[in-house]
Structure 1
Amino acid sequence: MRFSLTCILFFGLGLSTVFSQSVEITGKVVDAKTQSPIEFATIKLLDKASGEMLAGTTTLPDGTLLLATESRSFSLEVSFMGFITQEFSEFEIVKNQVDLGTIALAEDSKLMDEVVVRGEKSTTEFQLDKRVFNVGQDLSSTGASALDVLNNIPSVNVNIEGQILLRGTGGVQVLINGKPSVLTSDGGNALGTVTADMIERVEVITNPSAKYNAEGTSGIINIVLKKDEKRGVNGSVTLNTGVPNNHSLGFSLNKRTDKFNLFSQLGVGYRTMPEDFETRNSNLIDGTEVTSLGEAEKNEKFFNLILGTDYYINERNVITLSGNYAFEGETEYSDGAFSSFDASQVMVSGWNRTESTEATNPKWQYELQYKSDFSDKDDHFLLISALGSSFAKDQRSEFDNSPTFGEGAQTERQLADNDFSQAEYTFQADYTQPFGEKFTLETGGQYFLSTVKNNYSISDFEEGEWVVIPNLTNDFHYSQNVLGLYGTGAYEGDKFGLKLGLRMENTDLQTELEQTGEENKQNFTNAFPTVHGSYKVAKNFSLQGGYSRRISRPRFFDLNPFYNIRNPYNVSTGNPDLLPEYTDSYEVTAIFDHALFSLSGSVYHRYITQTIEDVTTVESGVNITKPMNIGTNNVTGLEVNGKLTPSDWWSVNADFNYNYFDRSGTWESTPFGFTSSQWSSRLTNKFELPADFALEVVTDYRSSYQTFQRSNKGFVMADLGVRKKIVNGKAIINLSVRDVFASRVTESESYSPEFSQYSFRQRGRFVTLGISYGFGKGEAMEFSGAKRF
């Protein structure tokens, strides 16, 4: 990977010199009627004599375009769905530059029913306090869920358990359309039902401004769902199948009139997620050992429906009402062979432990939103919203041990019964007021309420009936209310930008164990300042910097004190006494853009106090893991992202991230301290081939790294995808192979003076074949319910 990044820098500098005499073409495309920018307008650069295409691009969200060519004899074609195409053949080249100015496209009723593919390639753009990843129709979205999309975004990693990491660190707050969502809660797999075709863009905010909730120590990831507003009727239908089972059908339909915009998305499917696992528990005091080796399989049937409407009271005021219903039916099976060894490593007993789990997970979400745009300025508006959601989980897991060897082999049956319900409500108001062209003030508030009830029991099968184990059974209640108020002020000049903000949040957190009467109450108020700045050194070179203070509050599953008994020798539990984690985050970013390549690099530092980390202790030969507040963590990192386009048919993307950790604190009255590092890299090659074929090859490397008690091994993996447009681009056929060599493995070893624990997990290879078709004024989109984690 280091070699790849070096190549990018070398070729980038070389190409900058070689093409220093090339002609740079700029301009902006707008709607002739509304004067609003047109995003994803198609720009073709053609040879004047032969008519062959020399280069091509699409416009950015602000309608701007940038192209470069060595030719001095060319013409330009600007087109967009439903508009009259404009052609330019006469240019004035001044200092190797052509400025087209503002290009106004007029609507063409004759083309209103034509379908074209827009936003084919995913793009990344930088804003003052965030990076925006616009999700295109490239192969990284083939047969993908939201988690797959996130795993293809620079700075973001998703591990095999579905945990989302930002720059290698957890504690990420995931939002849907800028708000907390039941789809991103810890209690289920709902992000697996949010598919790539539903996503318009993903905003990665490593240092959020005060406008955002302060939750999430490493930052915020905001997933913005599509809501098509093209006039008339448009939509798409998609079908996927895969091995192992990954079968889904998706349908979207939108209708836009003068007063209403009706939008809907529907997805149904069935998927299977197999897994191989191995564990080894070693008692370092007496030399005994217990191992397990087996297979597991999780099957999910899912359904996801989104319905909504915008009502345009007038051109300045709009009311939006939307709802989302998602449902998952889960069955899970596992079969593990357990073996027990004495101090001489002689096997003394063996048994099989099987698991059979059934669960249903219904989820509701509904939102009412009002937006008023004031007439004096385009960016002067008031936004008020109320959002409610609920999530329930009814799960029953039966475990059965059967002896295979030795007199000490275990014979028992156990039942874990979990009845979970959660309700969340968010009330929010945001007001933005620009002053002139360069100053903007923002203010607002948010009130977030969350309540959870979890009835959990574990039973033994005795004399033909289930008998509840009292000390492993209880009803757990959790509530958290957060009130936040914020204000920001921003100046954005031609070269210099500065944004200052302050957010105040009050948190009221309460937990209760109903049977024992144990309570934990926390009430605290925090200030969260933010600073962001930018400076445009040259036309294609900019600097950005930022600071923010963040908080990571204990979540329900961090606090719930009940055991997960899937492996009776490795159990996990929550910690009702867990305290919030705080982070001071600093970063500086440099961005260089060229017509043929771009390069950005960030240096960042995070100082984390009351660090939350999983800690394992041993009780009666059983490893018990739970989250604890363990000291401080200083994280210093370097991140580099580069893109090179050697030709109009080949592009290369490279991402590199390095973290250095300095951990210190006290555990069980003994001071500790250690340092560790972690790095990851991703190299993506995309090829546009003849006959409307496209190929994508992705290689990904994650290094080993160390935590308080655990050493985690690294891995290298590869993804492959092929795409073919058919029916004049109205339909797309996709074939993707994820983890081509089945090399993505989660392997770790925990250790202490008393024990060591080895863990191995592997998912394997996934192959998906899909077809999508767009109709009306829609476009073909890849769809799948494929949850791969």
Structure 2
Amino acid sequence: MHLKFTSTFFTLFLALLATNINFAQNGEIEIVGTVIEQSGGQPVAFATVLVGDKNTQKGITGTTTLDDGTFSLKTDAQNYFIEISFIGFEKKRFDNLVPANGRIDMGQVKLNQDAQQLSEVVVEGEVSRTQFKLDKRVFNVGKDISSTGASALEVLNNVPSVNVNIEGQISLRGSQGVQVLINGKPSILTGEGGNALGTITSDMIERVEVITNPSAKYDAEGTSGIINIVIKKEEREGFNGSISLNTGSPDNHSFGLSLNRRTERFNLFSQLGAGYRELPNDVENINRNLVDGTSIASVGEEFRNEEFYNIILGTDYYINENNVLTLSGNFAYEIEDQPSQTKFEARDAANQLVSEWERTETTEATNPKYQYELQYKSDFKDHEDHDLLFSALGNFFGKDQSSDFEDVTISGNDQDAVQRTRTEFKEAEYTFKLDYTRPFSEEWTMEAGGQYVMNDVSNDYEVEDLISGLYVPDTNLTNVFEYDQKVFALYGTGAYEGEKWGIKAGVRMEQTNLNTLLKNTNEENDQNYSNLFPSAHTSYKFTDKVSMQAGYSRRVYRPDLWDLNPFFNIRNNFNIRQGNPDLQPEFTDSYEVTSIFILEKASLNASVYHRYTTDVIESINTLEDEVNISKPENIGTNKATGVEFNAKYSPLKWFTATTDLNYNRFVREGGLDTLNFDFNADRWSAKLMTKVKMPADIDFEATGNYQSSYETVQGKTSDNLFLDLGARRKILKGKGVVSLGVRDVFASRVQESEITQDTFSTYSRRQRGRFITFGFSYGFGKGEAMEYSGRRR
């Protein structure tokens, strides 16, 4: 009896135990823990915690860690494993975990950095490559060695189709009518003759978009197209940052710090920068009067020394998963010092020295720059590309400059003189933009929007001469120039993009109101005009490796402040440039056909293009009292037809070559007063870049550039050949990079031009010389290498 009872009790106990076990297995289990770094013990935010099925090895459920590294999730799985991972760290997998009271507490899970994975991320992120889209080419800026630590101007010089000359002037396929944007919008950093672009370093640039035939969605400004520089805005989850230090000769020293903090609702980003650089320039000029045989020659060294400070602060606020509000601000401050010494010689008809003197300049200037933006983006739930974007952008640039000039006679006729100039410059620009994109299906998309741009400028310029111990204003050179331009635009486009064929067409209407005023003399110029700017693009994909594109757009170049302002800098008072307030805008019709080939170890594309421009603006030189005066004028039409070839070839894992060839033939027709400027000419350029991976984890790069000589409306510009070299090595498990660059290795980048007319000739030569740079950069945060841009929202 007792044995039977015991047996019955034991059987009931086993049944209850089995029931309890089965209940636990079929019930919900809570899994908790904290993920930290093995070295340092810092919490790892946004690490992935995956619960997977052992049989299928596929994920069942998962979550990500919070800012403090903690996580919590629930599962009712029975046969499972847990895997914890984060980019740049070794994965950890846990099997056969036993719950206690329906809960698994994993405690602290320590992740080790994965050096191999970090290296792979760096390699993936460092490749600069070109992507082709329906209406533009996208050059993704990696870590090109010759660009490391360089400015945006030097990065642009490595972009296919783009050239930047020694003066910082940007040209696209040989034409300087280019509109440069930053993040798709006008910026104070692109409006000062290109110099301010030097405050943007290559580490800050994510990609460069080259748009040779922009669609109607884009601003119609820029006769040869648009270059859009897209700045990185780190969105890696958690806390991330990078630091860079650069030094060089001539003096070129800078420090940069980028910080980013990402939470579920906020993305806080900031960039800080400071530096000092010297830009020496050897200059030579000769003015010859062919009527009486006299000449004025000058040779000297000019400097543009800059101390600069930048700060960018901004935040993205994710209202919800479909709406984002962004507020950002940028402040830059430059302190300029421009010393120069120029030696002059005046000679008579027999080439005998008549007078010799030296002109010394001392210039100081401060340049405050502000930019602020409010942007709202709404993504509609029905389609990922259905969105509405509104932005309000404000820019301000100021310059407070004073210059002192002293001429001291060395021999011959007395040339002693003292002058001083004062400049107070203020510019404010406001841009309001609304863009709406609506996909009707996977193939059909509509775009519509509007833009309003207000540009208000005041330039107070004064020249004074020291006479009998007193400074007396030169009324012929002193005035206040005011410039007020407003442009209102509306656009609409429609696009179809199928599996093989795509087409996009649209039209843009722009209304321009321009007013300029010379206050002292009350000379006023008003221009009001409306224009339509149609565009059309098409592409056809023959195979995955062969496709073609064709495009047309109409563009405008509106004379800017520096084209219109009749006053000038008298640094060299025998070679001056002045504006023309009567200039009219020039218009261009642009056509292009491009073929694209993707091969196993190479990619190449060839383009044929044609541009027809009316009311062409050219600088026309005249000689008055031995002074060479350059002034922009509308002089007629220009027809340019060209071919372009770009190729990239990687026959070996350690070797890559990239080439860029461009040739165009142009026909000029026009004149000014009694001068005839009809002529035909051609020009071409070539660029070859080679990259070699060497032992000891060293990367080496060489970039050669050649720009042919070409005829101008009055003379000729010489050819140009120069070479850049660079070397780089990754250190500190791939999170740090040291680099060495030499630009213009042989100091052969010389800008020479000569003008020959019936009554006079001029010769000009400018050279910057060799630049050597050394840089170090380091990325910190959740173990990601600096070159890796991270996951995007």
Same fold per superposition (TM over 0.5): yes
Task: Please point out which of 639, 642, 650 is paired with 2:647.
Answer: 642
Aligned to 1:621: 626
Name the aligned partner's letter for residue 277 of structure 2. R
Name the aligned partner's letter for residue 366 of structure 2. T
2:419 is equivalent to residue 409 of structure 1? no
Distance 1:700 1:314 in 2: 49
Task: Please point out which of 429, 433, 439 is paired with 1:434.
Answer: 439
Task: Tell me the secondary structure at the aligned position of residue 267 of structure 2.
Answer: strand
Distance 2:559 2:90 in 1: 55
Name the aligned partner's letter for residue 452 of structure 1. V
Does the CA-based 8 Å contact 1:113-1:776 persist in structure 2?
A: no
Task: Please point out which of 687, 697, 700 is paired with 2:702.
Answer: 697
Distance 2:414 2:642 in 1: 50
Name the aligned partner's letter for residue 577 of structure 1. D
Deviation, structure 1 residue 113: 9.7
Deviation, structure 1 residue 538: 1.6
2:448 is equivalent to residue 448 of structure 1? no
Aligned to 2:592: 587
Does the CA-based 8 Å contact 1:82-1:109 persist in structure 2?
A: no
Does the CA-based 8 Å contact 1:280-1:290 persist in structure 2?
A: yes
Does the CA-based 8 Å contact 2:148-2:203 persist in structure 1?
A: no
Distance 1:554 1:138 in 2: 35
Distance 1:111 1:466 in 2: 72
Aligned to 2:221: 215
Structure 2: any 5+ residue segments left out of the alignment? 1-45, 50-84, 93-108, 789-793
Task: Please point out which of 742, 756, 766 is paired with 1:737.
Answer: 742
Q: How does 1:53-202 map to 2 (within 5 A)?
A: 81=87, 110=111, 116-117=121-122, 118-186=124-192, 189-202=195-208
Name the aligned partner's letter for residue 777 of structure 2. S
CA 1:480–1:356: 2 relative to 1, 3 Å: same
Aligned to 1:726: 731
Deviation, structure 1 residue 112: 8.7
Aligned to 1:685: 690
Alignment deviations for residues 574-603 of structure 1 (CA, whole Å, 9 cap, x no partner): 000000010000000000001300110110
Task: Please point out which of 549, 552, 571 is paired with 2:554.
Answer: 549
Distance 2:499 2:568 in 1: 58
Name the aligned partner's letter for residue 338 of structure 2. E
Alignment deviations for residues 510-566 of structure 1 (CA, whole Å, 9 cap, x no partner): 000001110000000000000000001122001000000000001001100113212
Aligned to 2:671: 666
Name the aligned partner's letter for residue 758 of structure 2. P
Deviation, structure 1 residue 33: 9.4
Alignment deviations for residues 131-189 of structure 1 (CA, whole Å, 9 cap, x no partner): 00111012032220010100110000011111110011101000010011111112673
Q: How does 1:376-525 map to 2 (within 5 A)?
A: 376-406=382-412, 408-525=413-530
Deviation, structure 1 residue 130: 0.2
Does the CA-based 8 Å contact 1:188-1:361 persist in structure 2?
A: no
Aligned to 1:27: none
Does the CA-based 8 Å contact 2:295-2:626 persist in structure 1?
A: no
Task: Tell me the secondary structure at the aligned position of residue 563 of structure 1.
Answer: coil
Distance 1:621 1:489 in 2: 57
Overall identity of the aligned pairs, in %? 59
Distance 2:391 2:90 in 1: 38
Does the CA-based 8 Å contact 1:732-1:781 persist in structure 2?
A: no
CA 1:288–1:201: 2 relative to 1, 3 Å: same
Q: How does 1:311-390 map to 2 (within 5 A)?
A: 311-390=317-396
Name the aligned partner's letter for residue 734 of structure 2. G
Deviation, structure 1 residue 80: 8.7
Does the CA-based 8 Å contact 2:537-2:551 persist in structure 1?
A: yes
Tell which deviates more after alignment, 456-465 or 693-702: 456-465
Tell which deviates more after alignment, 461-470 or 149-158: 461-470
Does the CA-based 8 Å contact 2:136-2:212 persist in structure 1?
A: yes
Alignment deviations for residues 14-63 of structure 1 (CA, whole Å, 9 cap, x no partner): xxxxxxxxxxxxxxxxx9999xxxxxxxxxxxxxxxxxxxxxxxxxxxxx
Task: Please point out which of 227, 249, 252 is paired with 2:255.
Answer: 249
Q: How does 1:646-657 map to 2 (within 5 A)?
A: 646-657=651-662
Q: How does 1:255-294 map to 2 (within 5 A)?
A: 255-294=261-300
Deviation, structure 1 residue 464: 2.0
Task: Please point out which of 704, 711, 714 is paired with 1:706.
Answer: 711
Aligned to 2:20: none
Aligned to 2:762: 757
Distance 1:489 1:132 in 2: 21
Alignment deviations for residues 377-425 of structure 1 (CA, whole Å, 9 cap, x no partner): 010000001000100001111111000111x231101112111000000
Name the aligned partner's letter for residue 608 of structure 2. V
CA 1:669–1:292: 2 relative to 1, 3 Å: closer
Does the CA-based 8 Å contact 2:739-2:774 persist in structure 1?
A: yes
Deviation, structure 1 residue 767: 0.4
2:246 is equivalent to residue 240 of structure 1? yes
- Could you say which structure has the greater relative contact order, defined with CA pairs below 8 angstroms and 6 or more residues apart? 1
Alignment deviations for residues 423-475 of structure 1 (CA, whole Å, 9 cap, x no partner): 00000000000011100000000000000000001110122221111111111
Task: Tell me the secondary structure at the aligned position of residue 143 of structure 1.
Answer: coil
> How many residues are treated as equivalent by the alignment?
686
Task: Please point out which of 535, 539, 552 is paired with 1:534.
Answer: 539
Does the CA-based 8 Å contact 1:157-1:164 persist in structure 2?
A: yes
2:609 is equivalent to residue 604 of structure 1? yes
Task: Tell me the secondary structure at the aligned position of residue 476 of structure 2.
Answer: helix
Q: What TM-score, normalized by structure 2, do the two folds share?
A: 0.84
Distance 2:600 2:267 in 1: 37
Name the aligned partner's letter for residue 738 of structure 2. I
Deviation, structure 1 residue 502: 0.2
Tell which deviates more after alignment, 668-677 or 323-332: 668-677
Distance 2:114 2:673 in 1: 70
Task: Tell me the secondary structure at the aligned position of residue 214 of structure 2.
Answer: coil
Alignment deviations for residues 354-388 of structure 1 (CA, whole Å, 9 cap, x no partner): 11111111100000000000000010000001000
Deviation, structure 1 residue 328: 0.9
Tell which deviates more after alignment, 302-311 or 290-299: 290-299
Deviation, structure 1 residue 730: 0.9
Q: How does 1:10-29 map to 2 (within 5 A)?
A: none
Aligned to 1:105: none
2:749 is equivalent to residue 748 of structure 1? no
Name the aligned partner's letter for residue 163 of structure 2. N
Deviation, structure 1 residue 221: 0.4
CA 1:713–1:688: 2 relative to 1, 3 Å: same
CA 1:602–1:618: 2 relative to 1, 3 Å: same
Deviation, structure 1 residue 297: 1.9
Does the CA-based 8 Å contact 1:277-1:294 persist in structure 2?
A: yes
Task: Tell me the secondary structure at the aligned position of residue 728 of structure 1.
Answer: coil
Distance 1:80 1:184 in 2: 39
The structure with the larger Rg is: 2
Task: Tell me the secondary structure at the aligned position of residue 162 of structure 1.
Answer: coil
Name the aligned partner's letter for residue 195 of structure 2. N
Deviation, structure 1 residue 81: 2.7
Distance 1:767 1:551 in 2: 39
Does the CA-based 8 Å contact 1:528-1:550 persist in structure 2?
A: yes
Distance 2:414 2:706 in 1: 41
Structure 1: any 5+ residue segments left out of the alignment? 1-30, 35-78, 87-107, 783-789
Does the CA-based 8 Å contact 1:242-1:768 persist in structure 2?
A: yes
